[in-house]
Amino acid sequence: MDTLMSLRLFCTVSELTSFTAAADRLGISPAMASKHVMQLENRLGTRLLNRTSRRVSLTETGWLYFYQAKQLLEGLDEVEAAIGNVTVAPRGILKLSAPVWAASIGFVSRLAEYNRRYPDVCLDVDLSGRMVNLVDEGFDLALRATSPDRLDLGLVARPLADIEFHLMASPEYLERAGRPKGFADLNGHALLRFSGVDLSDIMALKGAIGQYKVTFRTVMSSENETILQLAALRGMGLVFLPKWMTKQDIEAGRLETVLPDAIGFAPTLYAVYPSRKYLSAKVRTFIDFMTTSLQGLE
């Protein structure tokens, strides 16, 4: 059998989770589709798909093979198109992992603009906040806000923008605990701490004319920015968050910026992906678009 056809069939079955649907899309019979996948499994000496009467799912090995095969086929399509002087339009499912705070108007508006430009790309966005394994879990890329020394050396990382985390609180909390007028007034204030950057109660805050050491009193810590934002809205304490995540709450008066010059940390937002080889049109255009659209983001 045609190995290339077998690869395309396997990837299509994996995406549609159905031999019948995959066979219809590629114009062959379901029986032939099954033979193509069986040929791959026999050649590799391992099972790629779990089959039941109702659905098809990838095995652990199948996920790894699917990811690599998908990248290979997309790269091959682009090479053939380039030889034929034809531009390959971005298409297919773009599986993306992003920080929890990406669930905000500021970020989603950029996703909407990307969708308007490339309507054939379906965005599958994971906001679980966990550090996903791009290859094993079949992700095309991840957006990670971190420092360069914490990046995985086995991955390609392209910087997109610096994200400043500003100090905020609800009016209720500030009325109860007092409104800080300077950095020294922050000492002893309740803090909703983002544990994803390994901060302690003692923090070096960046101000307009230098750094200031402040000792907070942590009342809650989490790697999930959303729960910290909700806790701040309920008056539990101060919180460091990016402005694009809190824009609506600030405009509605539910949150206030405390000491506008105070910046807790400013990690770089990176687009992280496994390899520069076989970079598909959907991944390349998404990274290029975000590099431009995120400039000046707060």
pLDDT in tens, 147-168: 777 777 778 889 988 888 889 9
Is residue 27 domain-shared with residue 103, that is, in the same domain? no
Residue 35 banded pLDDT, cuts 50, 70, 90: confident
pLDDT value for 289 = 94
Of 40, 56, 83, which marks where a domain is finished?
Answer: 83
Q: Which regions of 104-155 does DSSP assign to beta strands (E)?
A: 121-126, 141-146
Phi-psi region of 184 (alpha: psi -120 to 50; beta: other; left: phi over 0): alpha
Could you tell me if 62 and 47 are in contact, meaning their C-beta atoms sit under 8 angstroms apart? yes
Is residue 282 domain-shared with residue 147, that is, in the same domain? yes
In a domain, 298, yes or no: no
Which amino acid makes up residue 187?
N
Is residue 149 domain-shared with residue 289, that is, in the same domain? yes
pLDDT (average), residues 164-176: 94
Q: What is the 3-state secondary structure (H, E, C) of 48-110?
A: CEEECCCCEEECHHHHHHHHHHHHHHHHHHHHHHHHCCCCCCCCEEEEEECCHHHCCHHHHHH
Cα distance between the two ends of the chain: 54
Of 45, 63, 83, which marks where a domain is finished?
Answer: 83
Is residue 66 domain-shared with residue 199, that is, in the same domain? no
CATH of the domain at 100: 3.40.190.10
CATH of the domain at 78: 1.10.10.10
Could you tell me if 102 and 75 are in contact, meaning their C-beta atoms sit under 8 angstroms apart? no
Is residue 102 domain-shared with residue 173, that is, in the same domain? no
Is residue 200 domain-shared with residue 224, that is, in the same domain? yes
Is residue 152 domain-shared with residue 285, that is, in the same domain? yes
Is residue 17 domain-shared with residue 37, that is, in the same domain? yes
Give start and end residues of each alpha helix (H) in the chain: 3-16, 19-26, 30-44, 60-83, 105-117, 171-177, 225-233, 243-251, 281-293
CA distances from 201 to 6, 74, 186, 216, 218 (A): 56, 48, 11, 5, 6
Quote the Cα angle for 23-28-29, to 5°.
Answer: 80
In a domain, 253, yes or no: yes
**In this model, does residue 80 exceed pLDDT 80?**
no
**In this model, does residue 249 exceed pLDDT 80?**
yes
Is residue 172 domain-shared with residue 47, that is, in the same domain? no
pLDDT (average), residues 17-30: 85
Buried b (16+ CB within 10 A) or exposed e, 91-114: bbebbbbbbbbbebebbeebbeeb
pLDDT (average), residues 45-53: 85
Nearest residue to 107 (alpha-carbon basis) of 241, 228, 295, 245:
245
pLDDT (average), residues 250-259: 94
Is residue 79 domain-shared with residue 213, that is, in the same domain? no
Of 40, 66, 83, which marks where a domain is finished?
Answer: 83
For residue 249, what are the domain limits?
Answer: 165-265
CATH of the domain at 256: 3.40.190.290
Q: Is 247 helix (H, G, I), strand (E, B) or coil?
A: helix
Token reading at 122: 């379906």
Distance in angstroms (rounded) separating the CA atoms of residues 75 and 254? 48
Distance in angstroms (rounded) separating the CA atoms of residues 140 and 286? 11
In a domain, 35, yes or no: yes
Q: Is the dihedral of CA 63, 65, 66, 71 positive or negative?
A: positive
Is residue 277 domain-shared with residue 253, that is, in the same domain? no
In a domain, 227, yes or no: yes
Q: For 199-228, write each residue's pLDDT tens digit.
A: 677 777 877 677 888 899 999 999 888 899
Lowest mean pLDDT among 2-16, 34-48, 269-283: 269-283
The partner residues of 270 in beta bridges, in order of sequence, read 144, 159
In a domain, 106, yes or no: yes
Is residue 148 domain-shared with residue 182, that is, in the same domain? no
Quote the Cα angle for 68-71-76, to 5°.
Answer: 125
For residue 199, what are the contacts with CB-CB under 8 A and spacing of at least 6? 193, 264, 265
Number of domains in the chain: 3
